[in-house]
Structure 1
Amino acid sequence: MEINLPPYEIKLREQNGRRQIFDFLRRRYVSLTPEEWVRQHFVHFLIEQKGYPKGLLANEVEQKIGDKKLRCDTLLYNKELRPRMIIEYKAPEIAITQRVFNQITVYNFLLHVDYLIVSNGRQHYCCRMDYEKGEYTFLQDIPHYTEL
């Protein structure tokens, strides 16, 4: 799968006829889907290239709105363990459209974070929320952790 993220030392295995990739945040092997391929590369990119602390990132975080359960692909927490950033992944062949942003916005109604990122491994979009002005700004690049 061609993606626009740096390589890292990937751990793959096959179990019961299914390919799996090691998720070092969840500390276990998970099914290797195109979306998971993007997630694992993006998380390593954040930690290794952008200085994000491994201990403040979590994958597949479940949230509840009434009876409905939502699952955030990746969350970045601040040091007080409040969500600071939501990251949503799509498979490389999935175009990033308004519908994808609508999905992450639903999560943000609940979490009220400072940053939203959407990536399909080829294109990455990051926006900073400004709740006082009721607007958001798309950033040119994914910020380094020290710039958040």
Structure 2
Amino acid sequence: MLATSELVAVFPAFDYKITQKEGKLYIFDGISKKYRLLTPEEWVRQHCLNYLTKHLNYPTSTIQIERSHKIDQLNRRTDIQVFDSTGQVFMLIECKAPHVEITSITFQQASQYQKKNQAKYVVLTNGQENHIYQIDSNKQETTQLAHFPSYYENN
């Protein structure tokens, strides 16, 4: 069970569904339509997904969870991937547990995914803080943003 000190601060609260199986808690993932083991990182991911879909009106059909990638001969997974209206990767979101600090190492991990997918935006979140970056691959520039980008203004 999550302690109140681990509760998400930057995303709004929502009515989530939790179930218990074999002594473990699971939270319902509305994107994949299944229950996922409730870890601190999953708690952050579900709050982020709720924020994207219910508050920013991102279409659920454009969101993919735990997409597998081959990077440097290793299988890696992105926590959340959002696609634009043409099917290209629009945004990559890396979720960390609330007690995990967002550092340059976290950014390097997300940058590997971004280089492979050429996403326009990369987001790092631990539920306590969001680091949102706009990537211009042509100019090789990265700009930090204060808020999540609007899906519809960019598509």
Provide the secondary structure at the position in 2 that maps to 1:147.
coil
Contact 2:64 2:80 in 1 (8 A): yes
Provide the secondary structure at the position in 2 that maps to 1:3.
coil
**Match for 1:18 among 24, 35, 43?**
24
Within 5 Å, give how 1:125-140 maps onto structure 2. Answer: 125-140=131-146
Deviation at 1:7, TM superposition (A): 1.1
- 1:107 aligns with 113
Structure 1: runs of 5+ lacking an equivalent:
none
Please give the alpha-carbon distance, in whole angstroms, between the structure 2 residues aligned to 1:79 and 1:106: 23
Please give the TM-score of this superposition, normalised by the length of structure 1: 0.95
- 2:67 aligns with 61
Instruction: Count how many residue pairs are aligned between Structure 1 and Structure 2.
Output: 148
- 2:15 aligns with 9
Within 5 Å, give how 1:85-96 maps onto structure 2. Answer: 85-96=91-102
Deviation at 1:12, TM superposition (A): 0.2
Deviation at 1:66, TM superposition (A): 5.7
1:37-82 Cα offsets, whole Å, 9 max, x none, are 0000001001111121111001111112363111000000012222
Deviation at 1:83, TM superposition (A): 1.1
Q: Which runs of 4+ in 1 moved over 3 A?
A: none
Deviation at 1:127, TM superposition (A): 0.6
Please give the alpha-carbon distance, in whole angstroms, between the structure 2 residues aligned to 1:79 and 1:94: 33
Within 5 Å, give how 1:36-51 maps onto structure 2. Answer: 36-51=42-57
Q: Give the fraction of aligned pairs with identical amino acids, expressed as a percent.
A: 32
- 1:28 aligns with 34
**Match for 1:82 among 88, 95, 108?**
88
- AA aligned opposite 2:8: I
Please give the TM-score of this superposition, normalised by the length of structure 2: 0.91
**Match for 1:122 among 83, 108, 128?**
128
1:101-133 Cα offsets, whole Å, 9 max, x none, are 000001112111100001000100111011121
